Amino acid sequence: MKEKKENLYSISNLFLKFNQLLWKKSFLQHIRVLFYWADGVLLLFCRGKKNGGGKKRSRRKVLIVYNMALGDGIMFCGVSQYLREIWPKEQYEITITCQSAFSSLYESTGIYDKVLPLDFSGAVVNLKKRKELFQKLREETYDIVVDPVGCEDCTTNVFVTRAARGKEKIGVLDVSMENHQAPDWLRRKVYRRVVELNQKHIHLIRYYGAFFQKLGADSCVARPAKLPHVELPFETPEKFFIIFPVASMAVKKWPPKRYAYIAEKIYEKTHMPLVLCGTEHDRAGMEEFRKLLSSDVEVADYIGKTDIMQFVELIGRASLVVSNDTSAYHIAVARQVPVAMICGGYTYHRYAKYDYEKEGCKNPLLVCRNMKCFDCNNYCRYHGFDLFPCIDRIDKEEAWKEIKALIEREGLSTDDN
């Protein structure tokens, strides 16, 4: 019997506090460039292993640096198969380094020869963990190191690419973006080649696809990922809906009272049970949400009962998903589940707005309040808030009106209200 992998994903509280501060006080984001000099000191103590006596290798080695969260990874899987068009398996060994908890997602694709899981979130501000991460990363020397995340800002992927041992390092830069936090000199220090893209308001999957095309994947077609199916360790209701009110960053989290109102309205409209799911990291937020629900709402609780791929499967079996800006939204889109996201405008076109009908995919519902400052790339012009203003302005009645219409379009309603 195959042993069940535990879903142990968690995010360092120090990392969350650090990011929360930078998002609430966007002008402070420029201080992240200081990691360049701090890492310079750390790397003096992370020499790495020698190259094994100069033995000739049958295949060249490629490292993909992908330290991103689950939702980003789901989108990356939409085009990652084209890595093999650029670097064929007969000639190249491809390793992807990723956040530890998400290794099974990348293993499931069959694309990579090796998956190197590392604690990226824990190493952002903890220098001891950062040194340990660099040391592990530098155990191997690669012919090519590829950073598909983007080098516009002084983000973890840039510094990890610097730390990796590679002969050629390739990054990607969106020159259409107004705010470039990373200075040009830093990019020149880290990357031998930077591929420039100039397509304003391009969605993230297409961003990755455009990058891969520039690297030689001429046949690349960007579209939401086709994710594998797995068995669940429990029985689920035949039809159910999911509300996912948690988010890694509090500034992106629509208030749980409003989600409770939406959940009650959905239950009244559809009589489907509400399924609660997520990791142990999500439990506190989910329990806060549950306490706000009317006792009339039928609830099935699967929090902490799935690994990452089972979490993906559970969301894929839902009849309806309503979510914050988090992984549940991107999973539901990939699995073509009717989904509504309570949506801010900070990265509206890059992350939120899917438009893949020409590729045969139905688009999600975005519940939002349009503002002139949309697509600020997390550089909010406002200050002194706990919740991004573009999210806080979304009224629960307006949200329900749009979600109700979605329910009726999908034929999920069991009443005439």
Q: Which residues contact 313 (CB under 8 A, 6 or more apart)?
A: 229, 230, 231, 232, 306
Burial bucket for residue 221 (CB in 10 Å: 0-12, 13-18, 19+): middle
Q: 274-276 and 299-301: which strand pairing?
A: parallel
Residue corresponding to tokens 């506190």: 284
Helices marked H in 307-362 — which ranges? Answer: 308-316, 327-334
Q: 92-99 and 165-174: which strand pairing?
A: unpaired
Percent of the chain scored above 70 by pLDDT?
Answer: 90
Q: What is the pLDDT, as a whole number, of residue 288? A: 95
List the beta bridge partners of residue 366.
341
Q: What is the pLDDT, as a whole number, of residue 249? A: 78
Helices marked H in 101-141 — which ranges? Answer: 103-107, 127-137
List the beta bridge partners of residue 323.
244, 341
Q: How many Å apart are CA 177 and CA 382, to the nearest integer?
A: 19
**3-state SS, residue 147:** coil
Q: What is the pLDDT, as a whole number, of residue 416? A: 61
Positive/negative CA dihedral, 203, 205, 208, 211: negative
Q: How many Å apart are CA 325 and CA 233, to the nearest integer?
A: 27
Q: 82-130 pLDDT, tens per residue?
A: 999 999 999 999 999 999 999 999 999 999 999 999 999 888 888 999 9
Q: What is the pLDDT, as a whole number, of residue 251? A: 85
Residue 169, CA distances (Å) to 142, 195, 225, 235, 337 in order: 9, 11, 26, 47, 38
Q: What is the pLDDT, as a whole number, of residue 337? A: 98
- The first and second tokens of residue 234, run together, are 């429990």
Spell out, as residue ranges, where the chain has pLDDT lower than 50.
1-9, 12, 15-16, 18, 20-27
Q: What is the pLDDT, as a whole number, of residue 52? A: 53
Domains delineated in the chain: 13-48+56-215 (3.40.50.2000), 241-409 (3.40.50.2000)
Q: pTM above 0.75?
A: yes
Q: What is the pLDDT, as a whole number, of residue 29? A: 53
- Give the DSSP letter of residue 91: T
Residue corresponding to tokens 């329990």: 287
Q: 205-240 pLDDT, tens per residue?
A: 999 999 999 999 999 999 999 999 999 999 999 999
Q: How many Å apart are CA 353 and CA 203, to the nearest integer?
A: 7
User: How crowded is residue 96: how many other Cβ atoms within 10 Å of its Cβ?
Assistant: 25
- The first and second tokens of residue 337, run together, are 């589940």
